[in-house]
Amino acid sequence: MLKRILIALVLLVVIVLGYAATKPDSFHFERTAVIATTPEKLYPYLTDLKLGGQWNPYEQKDPSMKKTFSGAESGTGAVMDFEGNGDVGAGQLEVVQATPSSQVDLKLRMRKPFEGEQDIHYKISPDEGGTRFTWAMSGRQSFFMKLISVFIDCEKMFTNEMDKGIANLQAIFPGDKR
């Protein structure tokens, strides 16, 4: 009886590991919405990392998060090192390229709870209702992250946070069309 249980457990582990191995080596999550303001008014919220606490859901998860800013005041070269609670972790966020009122590219380097590196892209463009805002996140998936994704819907987890961030930006600009 014990032998059968051990065989079943080993078989289960092999199946889970095999399934994890079939997961993609990279990920890409994206959300788009219209914010009722101009690209020029929205842009500073994306390039000035000190303003992130007003709309970024990750920063709002830990209001007492330790943040250290370095590099440029805002835009290309702005850097924020952070250390937060278990919901936030620790890492660094850097604006690697900023094109005024058009696009912002950031690099997120996580140290805790897991080491990893992700690319974040904000794209903004004029839209009939204000500004079309796209928030995208992409990166490589280690085998460990693939294994986690067998048990946790990472796409749903991240896109839910993106939706919260978009809603927060929409709340900052309620009906501010121009």
pLDDT tens, residue by residue, 4-25: 888 888 888 888 878 788 888 8
- Which two structure tokens, joined as six digits, stand for 64? 């007492």
**Looking at 53-62, 114-123, 140-149, which range is the least confident one?**
140-149
Share of the chain above pLDDT 90, in %: 58
∠149-151-157 over CA atoms, to 5°?
A: 60
Instruction: For residue 126, say if its preceding peptide bond is cis, omega within 30 degrees of 0.
Output: no
The structural domains of the chain, with segments of one domain joined by +, span 20-172
Q: What confidence score (pLDDT) does residue 163 get?
A: 96
- Between 175 and 70, the more confident residue is 70
Q: Where are the beta strands (DSSP E) in the chain?
A: 26-35, 66-71, 78-83, 90-99, 103-112, 116-127, 130-140
Q: Which CATH class is domain 20-172?
A: alpha beta
Alpha carbon distances (Å) from 169 to 27, 56, 79, 133, 165: 25, 9, 21, 10, 6
Alpha carbon distances (Å) from 10 to 4, 6, 20, 146: 10, 6, 15, 19
How far apart, in whole angstroms, are the C-alpha atoms of residue 91 and residue 117?
A: 9
pLDDT at 177 over 60: no
Q: What confidence score (pLDDT) does residue 176 get?
A: 60
